Structure 1
């Protein structure tokens, strides 16, 4: 079942003036326009289709720091804080939840890579936990499989594209 969408009525007439033009009405474009407008800029948000109805409506909704490249991690960490701040500022239910995310694996090399990332995560202030076989199998009970291990980040979360 597709996500329920609120139709945003817009004008086909472009504004005569804008301090900033944001192209793309997905999650990144909308939040860019929102934050620029909060800073007092006149913003034109341009979308070829429907706002939030393109790729942003079909993603998994994961908001994660876990296993991010070191260059991405500061932005990923900030994005989680921005999700929480937006919910507080807008008073709206955003569908964001810091429910934690976990990965499971039966591949020793993958598990070793996650363990190395976990050591790096400590230096970056990110909480992550390696899961042994029992913990991973317990967390992944819905899969009906046994797992060699996994990794869990309790501060990661999801932002439901349907909300």
Structure 2
């Protein structure tokens, strides 16, 4: 696992020890950023099921100003912090150990809007539609912002959720990437 492009291109990232997380492969990560970028001029990203932090770190490396990382697993939080330290991105990030529902409630109270939200929940616990509805109902995504969902190919997401419409959808083996844009 590594940073694919941008400021920290080629820098290796640590994976979360054990089998509790499923890291996004470099091939899929590169494809995601080719679809949504590939480079950015500022903005705020949310990596909601951050795991090792690879998606949020890639976003910062490619020009996103700041990223918030959330995961409920203690080992994942430790790994994110180590990866951010290795990339020298600690000043451009916030890391929280929390479940997704509580994290979204806390973010709603802060009245933050994101340019990019990455949703890569464990395949057995996916509740993507509901989470996107909460995000949109509480204005957590800026206009023309994108929600990147990584999910099992057997999960079929609707083409529209509220004012978010499917921008692109690609299949990589048993993984599907569905990207919504908020209009």
Same fold (TM over 0.5): no
* Structure with more relative contact order (C-alpha pairs < 8 Å, separation 6 or more): 1
Larger Rg: 1
